[in-house]
Amino acid sequence: MLPQVPLPLLPPLLPLNLALSRLMRGIVARHPAILRRLGPHATARILLDVTDAPFPLLFEPARQRVSAHRRATLPTADAVIRGKLAAFLAMLHGGVDGDALFFSGALAISGDTAAVLALRNALDDAELDLSEELLALSGRAAPVLQPALALVARRTGLALSRQEGLA
C-alpha cells in the first residue's frame, strides 16, 4: 500500500491573482501611457481596500501585478485607498470625480499621497473600460461574457463600462 502523501494545498486566491495580473498586463500593454504618467511612483505598492468586497487588492504597477489578500494578512503598502466598490468603479470609468469622493468622505487615503494622486491621474487619462478589458482577455468566451457583464451592471447598478459623454 502506497503511503498517503498530503497534497499541497493550492492557495484559493492564486487563480484569482493570476487572472488579475493577466488583466493588469493587458491594460498596461494597451495603455502604455499609464506607466509613463506614474513615473517614479510606478514602483509604489498601493492597496485598494474595497470595503464591501471580500479581498483588498494590492496594485504593483511597475511589476504589472495585482493581487488579492485576506484582511487578516494584509501586505505592507506605501499607500492605502479605502472606499466602496461602486465608488472605485464610477471613478475608474469617469462617472464621478475622485476629489469629490474624497471631500465627501466616500474615499479615504493614507500613506504616500503623491503615489495615490499619480495613480488617479494616470488612470483618469487612460479612459479605461473594464468591460472592454475583460472582453479582450476572454478570447472566445467574449460572446458569453459580454451579455453577462451587461446583466451584472444592470442588476447591481455598478459602472462596469466607461461613461460616454460623462454625467
Partner 1 sequence: MMELVCPAGTPAALRAAVEAGAHAVYCGFADETNARNFPGLNFSRQEMAEAVAFAHARGAKVLVAINTFPRAGDQALWHRAVADAARAGADAVILADPGLLAFAAERHPGLRLHLSVQAAAANPDAINLYATAFGVRRVVLPRVLTVAEIAAINREVDVETEVFVFGGLCVMAEGRCSLSSWATGLSPNMNGVCSPASHVSYSDVQGQSEARLADWLIHRTAKGASVPYPTLCKGCFTSADGKGAVQTGHIFEDPVSLDATQLIPALQRAGVRALKIEGRQRSRAYVAQVVRAFRAAVEAAEAGAPMPESLLASLTEGQAATTGSYAKTWR
| Residues in touch with partner 1 (CB under 8 A) | 37-39, 41, 91, 94-100, 102-105, 108-111, 113-122, 124-127, 163, 165-167
Q: Can you name the residues that pair with 46 across neighbouring β-strands?
A: 59, 79
Q: What cell does 66 get?
A: 495585482
Q: What cell does 98 get?
A: 475622485
Comparison of 24 and 81: residue with beta carbon closer to partner 1 = 81
Smallest separation (angstroms) from partner 1 to the CB of 47:
14
Comparison of 26 and 95: residue with beta carbon closer to partner 1 = 95
Q: Can you name the residues that pair with 82 across neighbouring β-strands?
A: 49, 108
Reported for 32-36, long-range contacts at CB under 8 A and 24+ positions apart, including other chains, are: 33/122, 33/125, 33/126, 34/61, 34/122, 34/123, 34/125, 34/126, 35/61, 35/62, 35/122
Comparison of 51 and 156: residue with beta carbon closer to partner 1 = 51
Comparison of 68 and 112: residue with beta carbon closer to partner 1 = 112
Going by the DSSP 8-state scheme, the letter that residue 42 receives in this structure is: G
